[in-house]
Amino acid sequence: MAKRLIFLYIALCCTGIIASATTIKIAYSTTEESGSDDVIGNTAVDAGLASLVADSEELQALKFSLLKQGNPDASRFYVDENTGDLLTSESLDRDVICAFVTTGSDCYLNMFVIARTSTGSFFKIEIQILVIDINDNTPTFDEDVVSLSVPEGTELGTSFDLDGAQDPDSGVYTIQSYSINSNDSPFVAKADQFPNGQSMLLLIVNGTLDREKTESYMLHILAYDGGQPPNTGSIMVNVTVTDVNEFRPNFTQSVYNVTIMEDHDVDGSITTVQAIDPDGGVNGEVLYSLSPLQSAAVLERFRIDSTKGVITLRTSLMEDSNEGYRVIVEAYDRAKQPMMSQAQVFIKVIDNHNNVPTIRVDLLSNTNFAEISEHASQGAAVAHVAVTDKDTGANGLVVCNVLNDNFRIQKYEDMEYKIVVYTSLNREVAEEYNVTVKCDDAGTPPKHVTSTFRVLVLDENDNAPRFTQQKYFAHIRENNVIGQKAVTVTATDIDKGTNALVTYALAPTNNGRFQVQPETGQISVNIQLNREVQGQYSFQIMAVDKGTPALTGTAVVYVIVEDENDNSPTFGENHFHFYVQENLAVNTSIGIVSAYDIDLGDNGVIEYALSSLTEVPTPFWLMENGSIMTSAVLDREVVERYDLTMTALDRGDPPREGSAIITVHVIDDNDNGPIIMFPSETNSSVSIPYETPQNRVISTIDAYDKDSGLNSKLSFFTRDLNISEYFLLNSFSGEIYLIKRLSPSDIGMYSFEVLVQDGGMFPLYATRTMTITITDSLTSESFPRYVTIAICISVITLFLAVLLFFAIYLVRRNDMRKPGSFDKQVDDSFSDKTRQDEAEAGFGDLTLDRNCNVYTQQTFSVIGIPRRPPIDRSISLQVPIEHDTPNSIHPSDDPVWTPPGGEINDDERHHNQLINLQFQQSLLRIKSCKRSNSSVTI
C-alpha cells in the first residue's frame, strides 16, 4: 500500500480559560483494500510532538485517544494508546465509503486524535485521510440479456436508452465506453454519464433498418472502465425492429435551487420538478423518483411524488445541522423500454429556530468511563467535549461549565473543551467521581443541555503492605521433612489492583534455610534442621507489592528447633580413591574405609555394605572393619576403574545410614607387549629407486601397545647392523632414513630384523623382519636438497667430543688403579667406509653388541676416531643404567657459540645429524639393558 504524508501545519489557538492549547493538522493518503491493522502513520512523529513537549520523558508519557463522538469516520480506525500509531480497524473500501461522492471528487475521511499526559499536556490532532481508489471492480449489468424494440425507418443518429453497466470505482476507473462486438450491426454503443456516477447505455442507429430484410438483431455489447488494462463486462441485447418509444423525458431545468426554513413542515412541499416527453400514449407519460445512488441522508429527509414531481420533507430538519442538500431526481417514461434523464435539486436550509445545544463527550480512554491517575497533576485532561448548536447568532452561542469541584472545564477551541483535574486526587479517599457538564446557549429563552460521565481514579502505588503482626513464632522438631510448614504470615495493602497484590519473600540473610510461598505467605523449612548445630533461627519476612516501584513491609519470624535423636553414621570423606596394581592375587586388601556415629548404644554400632554405581560387576568384598578385599584378579585392560558406594548403617530404630563413594583405580602392569602393524606378515617390504636422495625418510615402523603410560611408550631398534651403511632407524619415531648416497651397484634386497620395545620396568618387545628393495627405476622428479641441521649442533658435537676424550682419560686412569676391573672390546660392526665418514665428521660412534638382550649383562664399546692420532690405550668405564623414557635423550637446545672459522658446509650438517641420531639410539639401547653389572668400555 502506498502512503505518503501530504502536509503538516501547526495552528496555535490561544483561547482558553486556564491554559492555551495546540491544534495540529496532518494529512495522509492510503490506498483502499490494504487490509486491517494497516499503519497509516505515527501521529506523534508526523505532528511533531517531540518539539512541543518539555523533554523526552514527557514525550514517552503521552497517551493517545481517537475521538469517536460525532466522527463516524473514526470507527474505521484505531490509535495505539502508547505509540500514537494510527491503524485501520477494517479494510477500507473506497467504493462503499464514498459511494455517492460526485464523480471525479476525492474521497476523504476526517477524524481527531487527542494526545495528553497526566501532567497537563494536551494536543488535538486533526487528521484527514485521502482514500485512493484502485481498479478493483469489474463493470456489471443488472441482466445478462435485455430486449429492445426499434421502429423500422428510424432516422440515423437516433439513440435508445438502456440501463448501463455499474462500476463502483471512481474517476477513470468507472464506465468509460461501450462497444458492440460485431462489424455488420446497424448500431453503435455510447456511454452517457450522469452526475451520480451512473452511466446510460445509448444504442445509436447508424444504418438503415428494414424489417422485411432483418426482423431482429442479437448484439453483444461490452462495457469498459478506464483501467490499464481495462476491466470489461458484457450484455446481450435482442433488438426487434418495430414501432416503439422514440424520445426520453427532458427536465425543464437541469438544476433547481430551493431555500427552506429549518422548521419546514414535515410532508410540506419544497418544490416541483417537471420533465416533458414528446412521445404519445404511455411512451410519453413521465414518472419521477429520487436516484437511489446518493447520500442516505437525502433519501431519509426527502421524498418525491412519482406522478406530479412534487418534492416534500420526509422528516424534520430541526435536529439537523446541515445547511444544505443536493438531491438527484430521475424522470422516466412508461414504455416497455423506458428512457430516463436526471436533474439536480439544491436545497438550502435557513436556521430560524433556537435549538437545544448538543454535547458530545469523548472519554480519553478505551472504556465507557474516563480514567485518571490519583497522582495526576492539576490540568491533566480526562475528557474532550465538543458542543454543537444548529442555530446561528445568539441562539448558537454556547457556554459550558462543570458541576464538580474536583474538575474544571477548559476551553480549547471554539465550541470545544477539555475537562481537566483541578484538585489533588486520592483513590483511597474517593475512587470514582460523577462529572456533569452543563452547556447554555444565549438564546431567549436560553436552552441548555447536560451530560454526565464517570471518572475512575486509577490507583498509584503509594501505600506499602503491612503485616498483621510484627513478630511470628514457630516450633519445629529437628530432622523435619523438607518443606514442612512452619508458620503463615499475612500482610495487606490498601492500594488497588496490582498495587495491592502482595507477594512474600525472605531477607537474603536467611541463606536458603527457609522458604516462603510467594502468594500465600506460608513459610516452610527448606533444610533438615539439627538442634545440635543451631537451636533457634530468626529472620526477616518481607511483603512486597507489585506496583512500580514496588513497596515493602517487614516483620520478624522466630523458629525454635525441638530436639530428637538425629545423628547418622558419617565417613571421613565423601569420596575415597584407591590405587591397586592389576594382576594381584584374590583376597588382597586395597584399603580400609570406616565411618563414625556420635550416637550411643546400638545407634553407634555400624555395619557396612558395598555396591557398584555402574553396571560393571564388583570384584570386591567387605570385611567387618571396613577393609575392602579383591574377589577376582583385576585386569586394567578390561576395566580401568570401579565406582562403588560404601553404606554405613547403624542399629537405631529406625536405623540411619551414611554413604561414601569409593573409586578404585587399577594401575597398569606391563603385561602386554608391543604389536607391530607394519611391517606385517603380509606386507613387510619397501621399494625405493637407487636415485633416492640421501638422508631421506623412506618408511616408518607402525606399532602400538595396549598398556598405558611408560608401559605403552615404544622404542624402535634393529639387530642387523650390517645394514647400517645404508639405513638408519629413528628409535623414537620408527622412521627409517636412507643414509648412503646410492649407486646402481647398490641395487638389491636388504632384509633386517626390527625390534619394538616398550618402556616398562621389565620391558617387553616384538620383532618383525623387514625388506627394503633398491630398484633401478627412475623417479618422476628429483628430491630437492636442503639443510636439515643447524650449525650449533656441529659445534656442540665437537665440544662434547673434547670433553668426552678428557673424561675417558680420567676414568681409564682411575680404573688402572682399581683391582677387578676388566676391559672388553667389541668389534666394530660398521664398515670401513662408515668409520671413515664418521671420522671425517669428527664424531665418535656408539654401537650395540649384536648379542645384547634386554635381560642379560652386556658390554659396549665406544670408539672415538678424531682427526689427530688415536689414544693408544683403553679405559674401562662402569656406566650405571637408569630407567627412563626414550624421550629423555635429546640434543641440547642451548644456544651454541661458533668460533671463527668453525663453520661447516651442508654435507657436514646432514652427516652430523645422522651420527647424532646414532649416538642417541646407542645410549637408549644401553639403558634398555639390565641395570646391574652393565658396563661400557671406551
Note the pLDDT tens digit of each residue in 345-381: 999 988 777 778 889 898 888 788 999 988 888 889 9
- Cβ contacts of 25 within 8 Å, gap of 6 or more: 8, 9, 10, 11, 125, 126, 127, 128
Residue 171 has pLDDT above 70, yes or no: yes
Residue 565 in grid coordinates? 535423636
Please tell me the distance from the alpha carbon of residue 451 to that of residue 520, in angstroms, as a whole number. Answer: 45
- Kindly state whether residues 663 and 682 are assigned to the same domain: no
Looking at the fold, whether 115 and 65 belong to one and the same domain comes out as yes
CA gap 285, 280 in Å, rounded: 8
Q: Which of 15, 171, 40 is nearest to 111 (CA)?
A: 40
438 falls within a domain: yes
697 burial via Cβ count (<10 Å: 0-12, 13-18, 19+): exposed
Q: How many residues does the chain have?
A: 938
CA dist 309 to 95, 266, 293, Å? 30, 17, 18
pLDDT band at 906 (very low <50, low <70, confident <90, very high): low
Give the pLDDT score at 772. Answer: 92
Q: Which of 4-18, 93-107, 175-189, 899-913 has the lowest mean pLDDT?
A: 4-18
One domain for residues 801 and 911: yes
**Which residues span the domain enclosing 387?**
358-458
- String of DSSP letters for 667-718: EP-S----EEEES-SS--EEEEETTPPTTEEEEE-EEE-SS-GGGG-EEEEE
pLDDT at 265 over 80: yes
Give residue 319's pLDDT band: very low, low, confident or very high (50, 70, 90). Answer: confident
- Mean per-residue pLDDT, 84-100: 89
- Residue indicated by cell numbers 676416531: 865
pTM for this prediction: 0.44
Q: Give the helix/strand (H/E) hosting 560.
A: strand 552-562
Q: What is the Cα 239 distance to its own chain's centre?
A: 70
**Residue recorded with cell 501521529:** 43
Residue 180 lies in a domain: yes
Q: Are 109 and 157 in the same domain?
A: no
In this structure, the answer to whether residues 823 and 932 fall within a common structural domain is yes
* 879-889 tens-digit pLDDT: 333 434 333 33
- Residue 837 pLDDT: 40
Fill in the amino acid letter for 438. K
Q: In what side-by-side order are the strands of the sheet with 216-225?
A: 145-150, 232-241, 216-225, 175-180
Residues 286 and 382 in one domain: no
Which residue carries 414531481 as its cell? Answer: 309
| 19 and 115 share one domain | yes
Q: At 654, is the pLDDT very low, low, confident or very high (cuts 50, 70, 90)?
A: confident
Domain end residue (candidates: 301, 316, 350): 350
Listed range (615-619, 638-642, 668-672, 870-874) with the worst mean pLDDT: 870-874
Measured in degrees and rounded to the nearest 5, phi and psi for residue 30 equal: -145, 150
Closest listed residue to residue 161, CA positions, set 44, 279, 281: 279
Q: Is residue 266 part of a domain?
A: yes
Cis peptide before 869 (omega within 30 of 0): no
What's the mean per-residue pLDDT of the chain?
A: 81
Residues 688 and 811 in one domain: no
End residue of a domain, out of 328, 350, 372: 350
Can you tell me the mean pLDDT for 493-506?
93
Nearest to 208 by CA among 248, 247, 269, 158: 158
Beta bridge partners of 77: 88
* Grid cell listed for 93: 473500501
Residue 711 is assigned to a structural domain of this protein? yes
* CA proximity to 256, closest of 327, 196, 345: 345
Rounded mean pLDDT, 776-784? 51
Which three-class secondary structure state does DSSP give residue 100? coil
Report whether 5 contacts 26 (CB < 8 A).
yes
Task: Tell me, yes or no, whether 115 and 177 share the same domain.
Answer: no
- Domain presence at residue 536: yes
Q: Indicate the number of domains in the chain.
A: 8
> Would you call 278 helix, strand, or coil by DSSP?
coil
Report, as an integer, the average pLDDT of 710-724.
86
What integer is the mean pLDDT of 399-411? 92
Query: 396 and 346, same structural domain?
Result: no
Tell me, yes or no, whether 654 lies in a domain: yes
The answer to whether 57 touches 129, Cβ cutoff 8 Å, is no
CATH number reported for the structural domain that contains residue 472 in this entry:
2.60.40.60
pLDDT over threshold 60, residue 903: no
84 falls within a domain: yes
Euclidean distance between CA atoms 120 and 481, whole angstroms: 59
State whether 474 and 451 are in the same domain. no
Give the pLDDT score at 843.
34
Confidence class for position 279, pLDDT limits 50, 70, 90? confident
Please state, in angstroms and as integers, the Cα–Cα distance from residue 655 to each residue in 478, 482, 601, 651, 661, following that order. Answer: 17, 19, 12, 5, 20
Cα dihedral 686, 692, 696, 700, rounded to 10, equals: -10
How many beta carbons lie within 10 A of that of residue 781, not counting itself? 6
- From its phi and psi, is residue 615 left (phi > 0), alpha (psi between -120 and 50) or beta? alpha
> Contact 114/124 with Cβ under 8 angstroms?
yes
Measured distance CA(758)–CA(750) in Å, rounded: 26
Single residue among 350, 379, 395 that ends a domain in this structure? 350
Domain shared by 558 and 584, yes or no: no
How remote is the C-alpha of 398 from its chain's centroid?
A: 58
784 prior amide bond cis, ω within 30: no
Angle 259-262-263 from CA coordinates, rounded to 5°: 120
Q: What percent of the chain has pLDDT over 70?
A: 81
